[in-house]
Every structure is written in structure tokens, then in C-alpha cells.
Structure 1
Amino acid sequence: MSRSGYYKWVKRKPTKTEKRLRHLINCIQKVYDEHKGIYGYRRITIYLNHYLNASVNHKCVYRLMRLLELKAVIRRKRYTYKPHKPQHIAENVLNREFQVDYKAMGVLLTDIT
């Protein structure tokens, strides 16, 4: 690269697109921090378009978030298991004596596994 080309690049003025992208980067960072990193690129796009009237595409937000190394925090699902005692406990009528006289419908067994 020539010396004159470098200094021309250093002294150039930012274009409208660069200004817009810098503004979007600041907005994305603000929204990401405001929501503690929970929002991904889809929800940030919706937020920018709805609340800030930015009219930005989701692919642009995705690209800028990759540039800033921002990723959505994936929250763990909470399992709500409540231990409880059974309401009705059946009586142990057989006492593990499974060999009985064969009567019609005398003893009915099942396996719950």
C-alpha cells in the first residue's frame, strides 16, 4: 500500500452507511445489555424495528452481532416436580402368594413398569 493511499484512507469522512452501521452497533449493544444478554438477533431485530424505528434486516443484525461477538444466553428450563404422598394405598392382600386355586377372576395381577 502506498503512503499517500494510507493517509487518504485515514483522512476520509465516514459514509452514510458507515454512520448508520455505527449507530446500529450502539443500539444493538444497548439492547443486549439492557436485557442481560437474553435477546438473540431475532428479538433484537424486532425490538429495533418496533421501538426504535430502525427498519433493519435480521441478517444485518446477525452479522453485526457476530462482529461484536454477542450471543443470546440460553436459559435452562425449570422442571417443577413436586414430591407428594399417594392419596390411596392399596392393601397387600396376596402377601406375595401368587400360587392360588384357579377360580374364575380369583386373582388379577399386573406389572407397572
Structure 2
Amino acid sequence: MVPPSGTRAVIKDVIDMAGVSTSAGNKVYSGLHGARENNAVCVEKLLDAGAVILGWVKMVQYQPPFNPRGDGYQDPGCSSAGSATAASAYYWVDIALGTDSKSLL
């Protein structure tokens, strides 16, 4: 499904975007790898469809951010917590890119 032109999106800080240094939640990683030369395929598709990228959202591995629409028990406690929180908290975020992956260890 292609989002309509003008869709406002945030991107998890593990998804590459040209000209931006992906940190994967780690400043050292960002410093070692520098800015990316290309967009990830999912970012490229959003841009081709006319989406507006609002910015990056933080990855959270430990303490999740507060969910303003939760009931006190529904905290976004995963590495895509920044994406989940942005989508739930801000009416001006139409979509948020996150990931679902498992550790290789």
C-alpha cells in the first residue's frame, strides 16, 4: 500500500536515510559509520510517494517512554518504542517506521 502524498512520517534510528548518520541507539556506532549514502528501500518508497519525513525517533532498549494514551500498563517496551510513542502521542505523525527483528545470539 502506498501512502498518499503529504503523509507525515517518522523513522526509527536504525533505518538508513541518505545524508544522515544512523546510530541504532548508540553514539559510538554513529561516529564509526558516518552519514549514509543511500536511503533504505522503505524510505525511498515513502519519498517517491510524496511523504514528508519529520525526523528520527529514538530506539529504546531499556526504559520505555511513557504512553500518554495508555492505561498505565501499556508501555511501548521494545526497540521500536520511539516509533510507537510518536504515532500514539502526536496527531501530526501519520505513520512511523519501526522494525521487528530477533537477536542472532
* TM, length-normalised to structure 1: 0.22
More strand by share: 2
More helix by share: 1
Structure whose CA Rg is larger: 1
* Larger RCO, structure (CA 8 Å, separation 6 or more): 2
* TM, length-normalised to structure 2: 0.24
